[in-house]
Amino acid sequence: MIRTSRRLADGREIVYYDVDGSSAPRDAVDTRDLPPVSTRSQLRWDALLGEWVAYASHRQSRTFLPPADQCPLCPTRPGRPPTEVPEAEYQVVVFENRFSSLATGVDPDVPPAAPGAPYALQRPGFGRCEVVVFTSDHDRVPADLGPERLRLLVDVWADRTSALSAIEGVEYVFPFENHGEEIGVTLGHPHGQVYAYPFLPSRVERILASVERHRAETGGDLLADVVAAERSGPRVVAANEHWTAFVPAAARWPYELQLFPHRRVPDLPALTGEERAALAELFGDSLGRFAHRFDEPMNYIAAWNQAPVHRGREEWWLHLQLFSFRRAPGKLKYLAGSESGIGAFISDTSPEDVAEQLRTTTW
């Protein structure tokens, strides 16, 4: 893999990733006249729930569903306005988000607490948010990228995880993809993101707490026990030599898969070359099953659950959550009173039925 780092007109980093020997030099210059990036993010502590909330009001002006001929993720080509990517073609490209929720250059001057709320502690919105563009082809979908491009994408996620983990103050690195307008995607071009947080997100904290509690109560290893049970259970959808995809027994979403490696590793950089190739194969297979489950497109979120940068790395087990809000043709699962109001999920589907449906999906 060839990694080429450049700068955009406003100073943001852009990194091109290409398969070895398959690209011309990445030397195109961003000719746009861009104002400096200004990030005014803040973090506030929710004392009741014990978690941080980010505030990034400057993101209200970000680009929203532009027509294809004005897509900022397409290559810069003659006859069209310059985009975020100066090159005329690319394979995978990563750049700092201009409308970032978190930034390393955020204003550090933040009051210690919210007005009139001494328990709502405040911190600068430190971190980094990157956009990962999967292909220069605006009209392709991730399910059709093929194993070679998906393998490059796995290597890119691993590289960005290593790079962002090295930033002082970063505690968690989260690669993810939102797919489909129903999910809230604001750009139709195939892409994902990577967030580097200065704290551990609540899901990570809860998993670590469950692991510690299980060990104290039983002496066992919760993640190892769950993986072993699911790999031999009735909800396995697909598997290869190094990975298994299954519907979790307590799935929250109408359609949900979790992809676990057979070898315990904390994060994507720890995977071997063979494991990365096998992941690209099974990830593509899983996306295909989602894409063809119904006659209409399946929205989804692909969320990488990696180990924290510093804490609990020996206890963690890397895995991918792939889930959709679609529960039936023309019907979405809305997070209404029970889910949004009190955090108690009620599912409209059966995990065992969903596993059988996905197993028998063909294309």
Which residues, including other chains, have CB under 8 Å from residue 331's CB and lie 6 or more apart?
none
Q: 94: which strand partners?
A: 15, 132
The answer to whether 55 touches 42, Cβ cutoff 8 Å, is yes
Q: What is the dihedral of CA 289, 292, 294, 299, to 10 degrees?
A: 70
Which residues, including other chains, have CB under 8 Å from residue 318's CB and lie 6 or more apart?
260, 261, 265, 266, 267, 268, 270, 271, 304, 305, 306, 307
- Is-catalytic flag, 179? no
Q: Which residue among 58, 138, 179, 191 is the active-site one?
A: 191
Residues 333 and 324: their CA atoms lie apart, in Å, by 9
CA atoms within 13 A on the CB side of 185: 20
Residue 352 corresponds to which amino acid?
A: E
Residues 172 and 194: their CA atoms lie apart, in Å, by 10
- CA 304 to chain centroid, in Å, comes to 6
Which residues, including other chains, have CB under 8 Å from residue 126's CB and lie 6 or more apart?
102, 103, 104, 106, 169, 198
User: Exposed, middle or buried: residue 22 (CB in 10 Å: 0-12, 13-18, 19+)?
Assistant: exposed
- Catalytically active residues, by annotation: 191
